[in-house]
A and B are shown apart, each in its own frame.
Chain A
Amino acid sequence: MSGGVDSSVAAALLIEQGHEVVGATLKLWGGVSDSGCCSVSDVDDARRVAQVLGIDHHVFNYTEEFEKMVVAPFVEGHAAGNSPNPCIDCNRHIKFDLLFERADRLGFDAVATGHHAQVVSKDGHYFLARGADNTKDQSYVLGYLREPELARLILPIGHMNKSAVRAEAERLGLRTWNKPDSQDVCFIESVRGREAFLRERIPVTAAAIVDAASGEVLGETNAAELMTVGQRRGITPSKDGEKRYVTRVDLSKKVVTVGRLVDIMTTEVILDEQTLTFAREALIDGQTVLSQWSAHGKSNKGTLRFDGRWKVVLSEPARPVAAGQTIVFYNPDEPELVQGAAIVSR
């Protein structure tokens, strides 16, 4: 229970379904935060909801693990010029590794969360499916879940629209009913932003911004680590007046290469083989896939290929996907179902 409306209603629905429920809030980030979850007031909200629902509530401290498994890889990823997704790491390592392990030790049968996604059972197997509310679907951040976890996971609000969730919370008199959705990465203050957070933690490299075609130096950045492939912000257009996008960040040469949109469009996304995970059956070379690489982005048709490295060959050119980002594969025949996930490599 994050202290938000979704997990509040998830708990209420579980109780209604007759489960014996205990509420747990994970204390994750120990530092300053102004946006996402796990501030004291969010824990207070979760505790109060549990009280109103008549269930016990516990706070589990995972700040150290969160620092080690989520924040540190985020910072190190950026230091190496990658763009990792901390929410995926958190869901994967904290919520669905550590919490499942703890739930087992404490004698629970299942773990439930308020994510907008669904667990469906098909041919005797469990699959993760998109949430019913398209605009809130969170299957992407849960893309790494596999059948053993899905079998013990309940997502009580996955079939509901957000407005229905809020209406239910209001009906039950839960004080979170009109609480704004959290949007941002919980440990990054919205006013100061990602850059300020990273600048305090990694040495940044000044680099020249160079146009790929003409070799012209368009300007410079004082933190190349914070530039992402495909990024346009902060780059002066070339003399021709056309917008430029980051095509490459080379920290060793201290050069950020930029190009026109047509130059950056690509049909290939290289995957890090070690991170390739399948919900159930392994996908094979030549298989058609639907790839999604941001939380609410569109899914892109393509083919999974292996030629010494795993890659996705897209049917339509797309803007480059930054290394470190996660791709989640959806089933082309049943586009609601998650098939697997992988992290984008260079």
Chain B
Amino acid sequence: MTLYYFDHAASAPRRDEVTEAMAPYQHGVVGNPSGMHKAARDARRVIEDARDQVAAFVGAEPGQVVFTGGGTESCHIAIAGVANAFRRANGSAHVIASAIEHHAVLDCVTTLKRDYPMITSDELGVDSDGVVRLDELSSILKPDTAVVSVMNANNETGIIQPLSALAQTLRELNPKVVTHTDAVAAAPWLDLAESTREIDLVSICAHKIGGPVNSGALIIRRPLPFDALIPGGGQERGQRGGTVDVAAAVGLATATQLIVKERAEATKKVRNFQKQLSEALSQLPGCTLTAPTASKLPGTVHLTFEGIASDELLFLLDHAGICASAAASCSSGAAKPSHVLGAMGVSDLKAKGSLRLSMGIETTQDEVDYVIATVARIARQLTPA
């Protein structure tokens, strides 16, 4: 069966260029970059080349890039690193995360509060367009607010967040607060050097941009009190212990280079597909395009089908060869109501029938045509008479 892959936001297809660039470091002697011999020096050299490329991708200095084991780890060590250092210095710490953050962020905050009663948190709400309510900041900021985390773009809906305005607001209200952004979903599409320029900490990962899983980076744009979650070994300037995976770093760096090279072309092509899908599918009975006027990543189309269960929609799409997502699933693999849609005030009835189609540079017009025809057929089949 032909596979129609419309789940790039879950994991993008691994690029051949990435696989080839990683290959030399997947067999035989790959030195430990911390060692004191030729093999180690060679490995270290490759890692620093990769670091330069990742730094350029986000508009940072190489010394500000910390290689990690992926996006979830980056987000977690960022928030825990700042909150714990602040708590130790001040006796307490307050964390603000937007209500639409990925669970990498939300569960980090929950865990911090579980482990340290002196850590508290507040949620920054979003409006019905899924955009953070910066006007709420003044009322939820506290004297001990250590870090504010707002994602660059949402992973479920693709809605872009006003990071520059966030930074501006915080500079006025409390310039000491550290900012973090989960830029994992935005990385394939936005110029992070621009979009995250005013944000202190930036999390990215490789497998959403055509690189390997278990590879990511945390960018720390300025010196700040930071407690490493796993200090052991002192690698990455003491901010993330553990031997750096040479192949993983190369994979991430290669993927970033491809994104930079192809972004303009990919954006132009996929924007057009996004428009076609949005226009055609939102005509279907019961179908609503999520936040139609909000500013979104080109690759994501998010819809809700009132009266249809996502479980059933995805089942039949799967049988037609279409890989798509309901955007939220629990540890068992079952679809579950999305906290993102909940925060936007989307009704339960609609949220239960949510569908995310996400694309990349390889997506073709034929695939888009097939998806439009197939979703239309299946939605009609499932729509209650």
Contact = CB atoms under 8 A, between A and B. Distances in A.
B312 A27 contact: no
A1 to B, nearest CB: 12
Contacts of B335: 59, 61
Interface of B: 309, 311-312, 315-316, 318, 330-336, 381-382
Contacts of B309: 102
Contact of A60 (B318, B334, B381): B334
Contacts of B318: 56, 58
Closest 4 CB pairs of A and B: A61-B334, A27-B334, A59-B334, A43-B332
A239 interface: no
Contacts of B311: 58, 60-61, 102
Contacts of A63: 334, 336
Contact of B332 (A40, A105, A106, A107): A40
A43 B332 CA distance: 6
Contacts of A90: none
Contacts of A337: none
Given A58-B315, A60-B311, A61-B311, A105 B330 contact: no
Given A25-B332, A105-B312, 8 more contacts: A40-B331, A40-B332, A43-B334, A59-B332, A61-B330, A61-B335, A102-B312, A105-B381
Nearest to A27: B334
Interface in A178-236: none
A27 B329 CA distance: 12
Contact of B315 (A27, A38, A43, A106): A106
Interface string A101-122: 0100111000000000000000
Contacts of A58: 311, 315, 318
Interface string A24-56: 010100000000001010010001000000001
A105 B336 contact: no
Interface string A56-88: 101111010000000000000000000000000
A59 B312 CA distance: 11
Nearest to B316: A106
A60 B311 CA distance: 6
B312 A106 contact: yes
6 contacts: A47-B333, A58-B311, A59-B332, A60-B334, A102-B309, A107-B316
A22 to B, nearest CB: 8
Contacts of A105: 312, 381-382
A61 B334 CA distance: 5
Contacts of B381: 105
Contacts of A60: 311, 334
B203 to A, nearest CB: 26
A40 B334 CA distance: 10
A153 B38 CA distance: 68
Contacts of B330: 27, 61
A61 B312 contact: no
A2 to B, nearest CB: 12
B270 to A, nearest CB: 29
